[in-house]
Amino acid sequence: MRLYFIFIIIFLIGVDILSSEDISILVAGKQNTISIKATDFTIIDERVGDILYKSKKTESIKFQYIKGDENRTGIKFNNRFYPTEGFIIESPNEFYINGKKLKFKLSIVIFNNTLYAINILPVESYLAGIINAEISSKWPIEAIKAQSVVSRTFALRKKIYNFTKPYDLDSSVLDQVYKGISIIDEQSVKAVRETYGEVLVYQNQLIQAFFHANSAGYTEGAEYFAGNRLPYLISVKDPYSLNKPRDSWSYQIKISELEKTLLNLYKIGGKIKKISIKEQNERGRVMKLLIETTQTSYTITGEHFRRALGYTNIFSTKFKLFLSKEILRVEGSGSGHGVGMSQWGAFEMAKQDKRYKEILNFYFTNVRVLKMY
């Protein structure tokens, strides 16, 4: 059953940047062991609230998932086994995990028979931490404010729809890149504070607030990425993204390397004879390719082809192919899926003195900015 109306009511005293709805961010997962480093911390049993361990000094703690029978499944640390589904780690100081500097609370939980580490923190603090991961705090302030509103909307909608998971968002490009608090600065805090609690809505619902790096002149409609049409995510002509980074790019790969990649990922065997674009949309994005080898013919989507060669090599599915005897050269334009706000387009609009709400209304149709809390 779809959720048509979702109302979140949050009562706050003041508007401090650290006072807002909490959000849970996955910072490490699908591991049997997870190590953290902390100072002056307390480890609490998530299920019953018992304090299991306290330390005033700096320590590195390794948590290990133990799979046994019903009474022996749990987590081990400091050479002691605990029959629990997870811990909450609290400290007034920072946590360090996988090179990330984190604050507030850290949850270590069992999920899908592995361990997950989840940072629990206020939404506004999270937003300040993603600015320099997604764009740059050196950009014009109105572009940063536009990113703040889009990212807040994206995060809160994800929180609603991921309620069955122990976390709300991934910290990678799967959702929004979050590298912790070490890259927060005055400008990122300023942009978040000046848009405090603001989200994008369409008919009183949080929108699917997609964004990407560069549209290369035209954004995509929601049907390209989300699978269905949405009245607020339609294709728009975007001159602001032209002549910006990744407006055009090229990449080449040896045919022998490509054959290995296709075999490993998609079980496409044989020597490549031909690769051709089978289907494109109106804006030139590759929907399907036909790969012909000495053993088979195989149709693959543009997105799967991009994933096979690497998202940091093939920046979008808007490309052409040039095949020689030993090399495949890919020449393309744009970066990302192209749906929603173009970040480099927002940069240029802000340079031209457009305000953040103008930027948002350019990339999203018939939406309004609502102060949610």
In whole angstroms, give the CA distance from residue 232 to residue 218.
15
pLDDT at 368: 97
pTM: 0.88
| 118's tokens | 């989840």
pLDDT at 48: 86
pLDDT at 72: 79
Question: How far from the centroid of its chain's Cα atoms is residue 321's Cα?
Answer: 29
DSSP assignment string, 102-167: E-SEEEEEEETTEEEEEEEEEHHHHHHHHHHHHS-TTS-HHHHHHHHHHHHHHHHHHHHHTTTSS-
In whole angstroms, give the CA distance from residue 181 to residue 18.
13
Residues facing 101 on adjacent strands: 96, 180
DSSP 350: H
Positions of the chain with pLDDT lower than 50, given as ranges: 1-19
pLDDT at 12: 27
Residues facing 250 on adjacent strands: 331
